[in-house]
C-alpha cells in the first residue's frame, strides 16, 4: 500500500454526536478542479466553504462539510497499491466499514471485477497514481448525480452542479436543453442548464486525464429483458416476496430509519419489514410518518392505520404554505432540475432530522410493478408486434407535459433561432429508444426508456430533498429487485396485480386497509360499482359543502393569503434576470389568467416551471 494521506478523516472529521455516530462519517459535497478557477465557488447552503482534501500537479480535490442544513453522503475511503478510492453513498449488502467493501471497491477500480457487480446508491471515484488518471463510476440507474464541466481550458467534476459551473463553465445557457425541460419537466440525456456542463450518465465508467480532459466514457451495464416463461405466476409472486424481504432487511439494517407512508402500495410494501409487531431494525429503530394537506386527509388516515397494523411509531404532518420561505433550501437541494413545487418533503425535513439518519424512499416501485400501457401485456403473450413509430409516440405521450405551450412560445421560441421545439423533443426520444431496440417487449422497452430518462433526470433529483434531514435508501433501485423484474413477463405486472397479490399473500393485514387510488381494500377493489358509488358520494358531499380538496402542492403554495404576492415578487418585480427572455407584461398576463382560471390550459405547471427558472437564474444563472 502507498500512504497518500487520503483518509476518511481528511474528507470530514467526525462530529461526535449520537446521531452522527449512528449514521457514520458524512461528506457534504466533493469538487475536483483542474487548472485555476476564477472567483468564488458556491457551496450548497454556504459560500466559500470548500476545503482542500488532496492536491496533485494541476488539480485539487475539495470537499464541503455536511451540517445541520445538508446531511450529505456517507463516505468511505481506501487505498491499495497505486489506487486511491472514495465511495460516496452506500453499497447494498455490505457493511460500510468492512474489509469486504474495500476489497470490492479495489476489485472494480483495478479491473479485476466489472462495475456491474456494485449494487447501491453511490458514486465511486478512484485515482491511479501511476498514470495520474481519475476514474468515476456511476451506479446502475444514476441515482447519485454528478457533473462534469469544461470550458475548453478549465475542467471540473463534482456533486453540486453550480460549483462545477463556477469552476469550469462559460455559463452559456443551453436553450435546446431548456426547451426539453419545459416540454417534459426534466432535462434530456446528459444536458443541463449550461451547454458545457453535463451530468454523468447511469451505469457508466468515466476516465479523466491529468489535465481533467475526459478520455473515456463507456457503459458497463445494458438493459435486458428475458421473461422466465417456465416460472408460474404464483411462483413469481413467491420469488418476489423472498427477494423483497431480503432487500428491505438490508435497507433497514442499521441506523434510525424513517418509513414514509402514503395511501398507495409502494410505501405500504416497505412497511412489511416491520412484521409481527417488531419495530426495531437490526441496529436501529423504525419510525413512520405521513403528510397531507389537511389534518384529516385520506392519505394520513390510511398511513396511520398501516403504521398501527405494524406497531410502528407514527407521526402525521399537515402541509402548509412553506415554499417561498424555503426557496433557497429547495433550490439548493434539487439544483433547479425539477419543478420546485414538487418536493413536498421540504415541508417536513425539520421533523425528519431528529428522528432518522436514513429514509426509505419507495420511488419507482409503481413503474416496476405496473405496465406502460402498450398492447400485448394483458393477454397470453409477453410481447406484441408494435412499430417503432408507435413506441416513440407512446413514449412522447408519457413525457410531454400539459402547460408546456406557453413556455415554448413565450420563453424558448426566440432563443432557439428557428429550431422546432417539438421536433427536437421527438428526435431526443427517438435517440434514447434506439439503444433499446434489442428489448422485444415494447412495454418493457418503454419502461427502460422511462427509467433511463424520467427517473434519472426527474425522480432522482427530488431524492436530494430528503438530504437536509437524512440519506435516502432506495429499495426499488436495488439491483437484486431490478434483475428480478427483468425476468418477469409484463402481463404479470398489469394493473399492479403482482404487487397486490404479494400484499394479499404476505401481508393480508395491510391488504385489508384502503388503497387510496381505488377507495377500497385490495380484496374488494375490483367491485367497481361499489367503489365508484362511494367516490361519487364523497365528491358530491364536497360540492354541496363547498369544500375544495387540495390535490396538488402548487394549490397549497400559490392559493393562500400571500401566494400571489410571492409569485409576483419572484416573477414580475423589476430587475429580474428572467425578463431578459420574457417580458414582465406577458408574465403578468399569465398570472392574471392563472388566478382567474387556474386549471385551464394546465397553467399550474406553466407557472411552477416559470418560478423554477426564475429562482435558478437569480441564484445561479
Residues 529-569: tens digit of each pLDDT: 555 555 555 555 544 544 567 889 999 999 999 999 999 99
**The pLDDT of residue 535:** 55
Higher-scoring residue by pLDDT: 534, 352: 352
Q: Is the dihedral of CA 268, 236, 450, 156 positive or negative?
A: positive
- pLDDT at residue 14 greater than cutoff 90: no
Q: Please give the backbone phi and psi of residue 590, each rounded to the nearest 5 degrees, phi first.
A: -60, -45
Give the pLDDT band of residue 12 (cuts 50, 70, 90): very low
pLDDT at 31 exceeding the cut of 90? yes
- Give residue-wise pLDDT tens across range 41-51: 999 987 668 99
Residue 287, classed as helix, strand or coil, is strand
Contact of 202 with 456, CB cutoff 8 Å: yes
Provide the grid cell at 165: 459551473
Express each pLDDT in 595-609 by its tens digit: 999 999 999 999 999
C-alpha distance from residue 89 to each of 27, 329, 415 (Å): 9, 21, 39
Q: What average pLDDT does this structure show over 315-334?
A: 96
* Higher pLDDT, residue 64 or 102: 64
Mean pLDDT computed over 71-92: 92
- Of the pLDDT bands very low, low, confident and very high (cuts 50, 70, 90), residue 6 is very low
103-112, 296-305, 515-524, range with the lowest pLDDT: 103-112
Residue of 588 and 99 predicted with greater confidence: 588
Query: What is the pLDDT, as a whole number, of residue 64?
Result: 93
pLDDT greater at residue 369 or residue 58? 369
What is the predicted pLDDT for the residue at 338?
A: 96
Cα separation, 63 vs 94, in Å, equals 25
Q: Is the pLDDT of residue 589 over 50?
A: yes
Residue 405 pLDDT level (bands cut at 50, 70, 90): very high
Q: Residue 11: in which H helix or E strand, if any? A: helix 8-11
Percent of the chain with pLDDT over 70: 88
Mean predicted confidence (pLDDT) in 384-413: 91
- Write down the pLDDT at residue 380: 39
pLDDT value at position 278? 46
pLDDT (0 to 100) of residue 280 = 47
pLDDT value, residue 406: 97
pLDDT score of 178 more than 90:
yes
Q: What is the mean pLDDT of residues 59-82?
A: 91
Binned at pLDDT 50, 70 and 90, residue 79 comes out as: confident
**How buried is residue 163: exposed, middle or buried, by Cβ count under 10 Å (0-12/13-18/19+)?**
buried
Q: Are 50 and 183 in contact (CB under 8 A)?
A: no
Q: What is the strand order of the sheet 29-34 is part of?
A: 51-56, 59-64, 29-34, 155-158, 147-150, 197-199
Q: How far apart are CA 430 and CA 529, in angstroms?
A: 41
pTM, entire model: 0.92
Three cell numbers, residue 81: 497499491
The arithmetic mean of pLDDT across residues 93-113, rounded, is: 80
Amino acid at each position: 500500500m502507498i500512504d497518500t494521506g487520503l483518509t476518511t478523516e481528511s474528507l470530514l472529521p467526525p462530529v461526535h454526536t449520537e446521531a452522527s455516530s449512528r449514521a457514520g462519517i458524512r461528506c457534504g459535497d466533493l469538487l475536483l478542479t483542474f487548472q485555476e478557477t476564477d472567483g468564488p465557488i458556491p457551496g450548497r447552503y454556504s459560500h466559500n466553504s470548500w476545503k482542500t482534501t488532496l492536491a496533485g500537479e494541476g488539480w485539487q480535490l475539495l470537499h464541503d462539510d455536511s451540517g445541520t442544513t445538508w446531511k450529505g453522503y456517507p463516505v468511505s475511503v481506501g487505498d491499495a497499491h497505486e489506487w486511491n478510492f472514495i465511495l460516496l453513498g452506500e453499497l447494498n449488502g455490505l457493511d460500510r466499514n468492512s474489509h469486504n467493501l474495500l476489497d470490492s471497491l479495489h476489485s472494480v477500480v483495478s479491473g479485476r471485477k466489472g462495475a456491474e457487480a456494485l449494487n447501491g446508491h453511490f458514486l465511486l471515484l478512484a485515482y491511479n497514481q501511476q498514470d495520474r488518471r481519475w476514474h468515476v463510476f456511476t451506479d446502475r440507474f444514476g441515482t447519485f448525480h454528478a457533473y462534469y464541466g469544461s470550458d475548453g481550458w478549465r475542467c471540473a467534476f463534482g456533486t453540486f452542479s453550480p460549483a462545477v459551473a463556477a469552476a469550469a463553465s462559460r455559463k452559456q445557457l443551453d436553450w435546446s436543453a431548456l426547451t426539453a425541460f419545459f416540454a417534459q419537466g426534466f432535462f434530456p440525456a446528459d444536458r443541463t442548464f449550461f451547454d458545457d456542463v453535463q451530468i454523468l450518465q447511469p451505469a457508466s465508467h468515466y476516465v479523466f486525464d491529468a489535465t481533467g480532459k475526459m478520455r473515456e466514457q463507456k457503459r458497463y451495464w445494458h438493459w435486458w429483458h428475458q421473461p422466465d416463461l417456465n416460472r408460474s405466476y404464483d411462483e413469481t409472486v413467491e420469488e418476489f416476496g423472498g427477494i423483497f424481504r431480503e432487500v428491505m432487511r438490508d435497507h433497514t439494517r442499521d441506523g434510525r430509519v424513517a418509513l414514509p407512508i402514503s395511501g398507495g402500495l409502494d410505501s405500504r410494501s416497505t412497511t412489511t419489514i416491520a412484521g409481527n409487531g417488531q419495530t426495531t431494525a437490526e441496529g436501529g429503530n423504525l419510525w413512520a410518518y405521513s403528510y397531507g394537506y389537511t389534518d384529516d386527509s385520506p392519505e394520513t388516515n390510511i398511513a396511520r392505520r398501516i403504521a398501527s397494523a405494524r406497531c410502528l411509531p407514527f407521526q402525521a404532518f399537515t402541509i402548509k404554505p412553506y415554499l417561498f420561505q424555503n426557496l433557497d433550501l429547495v433550490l439548493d437541494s434539487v439544483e433547479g432540475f425539477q419543478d420546485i413545487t414538487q418536493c413536498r418533503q421540504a415541508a417536513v425535513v425539520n421533523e425528519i432530522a431528529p428522528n432518522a439518519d436514513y429514509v426509505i424512499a419507495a420511488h419507482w416501485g409503481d413503474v416496476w410493478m405496473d405496465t406502460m400501457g402498450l398492447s400485448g401485456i394483458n393477454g397470453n403473450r409477453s410481447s406484441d408486434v408494435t412499430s417503432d413509430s408507435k413506441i416513440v409516440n407512446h413514449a412522447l405521450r408519457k413525457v410531454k407535459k400539459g402547460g408546456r405551450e406557453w413556455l415554448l412560445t413565450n420563453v424558448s421560441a426566440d432563443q432557439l433561432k428557428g429550431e422546432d421545439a417539438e421536433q427536437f423533443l421527438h428526435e431526443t426520444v427517438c435517440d434514447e429508444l434506439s439503444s433499446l431496440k434489442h428489448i422485444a417487449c415494447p412495454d418493457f422497452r418503454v419502461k427502460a426508456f422511462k427509467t433511463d430518462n424520467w427517473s434519472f433526470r426527474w425522480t432522482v433529483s427530488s431524492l436530494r430533498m430528503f438530504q437536509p434531514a437524512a440519506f435516502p435508501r432506495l429499495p426499488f433501485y436495488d439491483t437484486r429487485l431490478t434483475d428480478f423484474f427483468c425476468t418477469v413477463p409484463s402481463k404479470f405486472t398489469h394493473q399492479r396485480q403482482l404487487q397486490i397479490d404479494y400484499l394479499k399473500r404476505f401481508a393480508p393485514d395491510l391488504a385489508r386497509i384502503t388503497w387510496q387510488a381505488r377507495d377500497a381494500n385490495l380484496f374488494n377493489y375490483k367491485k367497481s360499482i361499489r367503489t365508484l358509488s362511494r367516490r361519487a358520494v364523497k365528491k358530491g358531499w364536497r360540492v354541496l359543502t363547498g369544500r375544495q380538496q387540495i390535490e396538488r402542492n402548487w394549490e397549497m403554495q400559490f392559493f393562500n393569503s400571500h401566494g400571489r404576492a410571492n409569485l409576483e415578487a419572484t416573477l414580475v418585480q423589476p430587475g429580474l434576470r428572467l425578463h431578459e427572455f420574457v417580458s414582465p407584461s406577458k408574465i403578468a398576463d399569465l398570472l392574471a389568467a392563472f388566478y382567474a382560471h387556474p386549471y385551464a390550459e394546465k397553467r399550474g405547471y406553466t407557472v411552477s416551471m416559470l418560478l423554477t427558472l426564475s429562482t435558478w437564474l437569480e441564484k445561479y444563472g
